[in-house]
Copies of this chain bind each other. A is one copy, B any other.
């Protein structure tokens, strides 16, 4: 396979490099001059993939951190840091927006680039760290210092591969590999191919990488442990799910088995609504779609709440005797949330068995008999009662439960509950697909639900 050809597509051109270098240097200059002018003791510094030279052509985000001395108060850091960011965006004719991750920061689009301005502390030692962002400068320094020049290309290949197969990104939406984790894997294994070979042959849940030989790897129980070279008390792969780790392993095996340049570009999805409908009909399961408005919270807060809601709905219907085949959820992160439940059993008989205490437990058996008297009988030495179900249909059960007085039975993400109670739609999936407008994103969500390994092979 011609890796140079791939690299020619994903490696930034000299002209692109030049343009971005002059832009971020200019931005840093503006921040530092504005600080001086306003008597603020702060200094701007470039971090992230642009600083490390590991960004993919056309996809550069500029991350500028604004360092304050560690004796600055949190409020002052926030106030002055955000002021400097906003001023810089204003001077550059950009549009600024305030955001929150673990920390508030300001973001803007300048000359077509996304630029983040993040206030942080200028720490000399990891022990002084006050928030996760304080570590980012150290990460950047470590990679600049450790990654060999020829390894930058290997990082680009690994990141492109990860993006293509759907395992790139440590945000909750993905639960995959962060950019920094990709860089550490290249530093550890040297090349793209060696990362894939090791993942394919050697990785197992609990696999450990400890570049700085801190010896702290065994204190983590995540599926993959990569001790942070700048902080022995952090697992860089903490956000990686077993699912995404496994997907990367399988995609690696697939690639090593049959290399193809298509593993470095987004696989084209060609989804046909009719095919999706036909496939759901063929399965002859029952699928329902719960649709409601998304709350305005950051994506990294939103996804876990949706997942929690989805899982709790599954538990709830299964606790009531129904059986799900699978479930999934989707959001555009701004307006809409969809939760999909596919049922194997959605209709049940009126009666069910209610298992009671053993007859040798006097107190309990007394209560049980009082409650169920002639409906109670013995199965060996246990009391059992045949009682009537409140709901013999899963959709009916959910409709009844999604109301203010019953909703406590399901555990919702806290920002989701209100929106759901305000207004929701509960559709039969096939009826929904037959009658409702469905956008391309939602259709892709359903396609990938039906073809779960689609991204992992070519």
Contacts and interface: CB of A to CB of B under 8 A. Distances in A.
Interface of A: 204-205, 223, 241-243, 245-247, 249-250, 282-286, 323, 325, 344-345, 348-353, 359-360, 374, 376-381, 386, 392, 451-453, 456
A360 B285 contact: no
B344 A325 contact: no
A324 to B, nearest CB: 11
A337 B282 CA distance: 39
A241 to B, nearest CB: 8
Contacts of A247: 378
A285 B250 contact: no
A205 B381 contact: yes
Contacts of A377: 451-453
B284 A376 contact: no
Nearest to A323: B345
Contacts of A386: 283
A325 B354 CA distance: 12
Contact of A245 (B284, B352, B381): B381
Given A284-B349, A345-B345, 16 more contacts: A205-B360, A241-B380, A242-B380, A243-B379, A246-B359, A246-B380, A249-B359, A250-B378, A283-B350, A283-B351, A283-B386, A285-B351, A323-B345, A325-B353, A344-B352, A377-B451
Contacts of A205: 360, 381
A258 to B, nearest CB: 13
A353 B380 CA distance: 33
Contact of A381 (B242, B349, B351, B453): B242
